[in-house]
Structure 1
Amino acid sequence: MSQPIPLHSDPAFYQLLADSYARLLGRPLVPNAMSVTDAAAWLYERAPFAVLAHNVDPDPVFIYGNKAAQQRFGYSWDEITHLPSRLSAEAPNREERQQFLERVRRLGYETGYKGVRITKSGERFMIEEATLWQLLDAEGKLHGQAVVIPRTRDI
């Protein structure tokens, strides 16, 4: 039996990320026109911003984290894709993060978010100007939420 394609290489998952982003925000996720395969590889390997996505479980787990996100949070692909997304924030900041997620559920997306996050080793950092959006397919089915984090800074 063959292994499923990891989401970072899956053209269908990239299409879900990119199409839902473009539908909700009215602009492309990837800056240049590329084939789906090339765009998926660029987003995972070379994007100068972090991208994370979590599923719709009651306690959502990250299902995607590009190399920039892995580096900033200090996790490998296998680690980050088994991490409950709430653990990316310290306990005191989880309620504020949850309120933000609820706004995104209601509105479809939100831009300009900033908040404190925590690395695998416990270091705190600030994410700035983040955009979170609903991962909705063309039929409107919710697959989770994703975030672009263009800037971070140590605190």
Structure 2
Amino acid sequence: MTSFALAPEFAALLADSHLRLVGTPLVDQHVPIADAARWLYQDAPFVLVAHNADADPRFVYANRTAQRCFEYDWDEFVTLQSRLSAEDPNREERARLLEDVRTQGYSTGYRGLRIAKSGRRFWIEHAVVWNLVDRAGVYRGQAARFADWTDV
């Protein structure tokens, strides 16, 4: 497991970017700041994933809920190109969403078809996707969260 899973600095990047761009907190208000990284990774009741800023981005973060939903463990997830979370026919629509987020900062209410490691297909519902921008204004990638998904 890389250091991002429980790294306070990465949790802060996720939470700070979400608050600045989306306008709502990512971390439950009852969670102490010192415990935010652990809560996001282990206890958050939503899928939380992030990919880097590469031309063909790779996942760099997937909380436990994401691992259960997509059926990849941490080591598998963080070697996966994020485009592979959607099947080929759905990748163009996903790419349009990510480009819109890149230029606008975030998107809410997204619905899209995804695929798990086993081949199980599912709709993600009401997803929020946002840019990861550090406090210096440097673009670090994108993140997504959703709590609702339905098997096809």
TM over 0.5: yes
Q: Distance in 1 between matches of 2:105 and 2:30?
A: 25
Provide, for residues 10-46 of structure 1, a one-character-per-residue CA deviation record: whole Å limited to 9, x for no partner.
1000000000000011111012243333111111101
Q: Distance in 1 between matches of 2:61 and 2:28?
A: 20
SS at match of 1:7: coil
Provide, for residues 40-88 of structure 1, a one-character-per-residue CA deviation record: whole Å limited to 9, x for no partner.
1111101110000000111100000000000000000000011000000
Which residue in 2 is equivalent to 1:120? 117
Q: Distance in 1 between matches of 2:94 and 2:60?
A: 18
Q: Would you say how many aligned residue pairs link Structure 1 and Structure 2?
A: 152
Q: Distance in 1 between matches of 2:3 and 2:150?
A: 29
SS at match of 1:78: helix
Moved >4 Å (runs of 4+):
none
1:140 is aligned, of 131, 134, 137, to: 137
Query: Do structure 1's residue 88 and structure 2's residue 89 form an aligned pair?
Result: no
The unaligned stretches of length 5 or more in structure 1 are none
Aligned residues of 2:106 and 2:128 also touching (Cα < 8 A):
yes
Query: Do structure 1's residue 71 and structure 2's residue 68 form an aligned pair?
Result: yes
Which letter does structure 2 place at the counterpart of 1:115?
Answer: G
SS at match of 2:142: strand
Which letter does structure 2 place at the counterpart of 1:71?
Answer: R
Once the two structures are TM-superposed, the CA of residue 5 in structure 1 deviates from its matched residue by: 5.7
Aligned residues of 2:59 and 2:81 also touching (Cα < 8 A):
yes
**TM-score scaled by length of structure 1:** 0.95
SS at match of 2:75: helix
Amino-acid identity (%): 52
Once the two structures are TM-superposed, the CA of residue 138 in structure 1 deviates from its matched residue by: 1.0
Cα RMSD of the aligned pairs, angstroms, is 1.2
Q: Distance in 1 between matches of 2:143 and 2:133?
A: 10
The unaligned stretches of length 5 or more in structure 2 are none
Which letter does structure 1 place at the counterpart of 2:149?
Answer: T
Q: Distance in 1 between matches of 2:116 and 2:34?
A: 30
Aligned residues of 1:135 and 1:144 also touching (Cα < 8 A):
yes
Q: Distance in 2 between matches of 1:6 and 1:35?
A: 20
Query: Do structure 1's residue 110 and structure 2's residue 107 form an aligned pair?
Result: yes
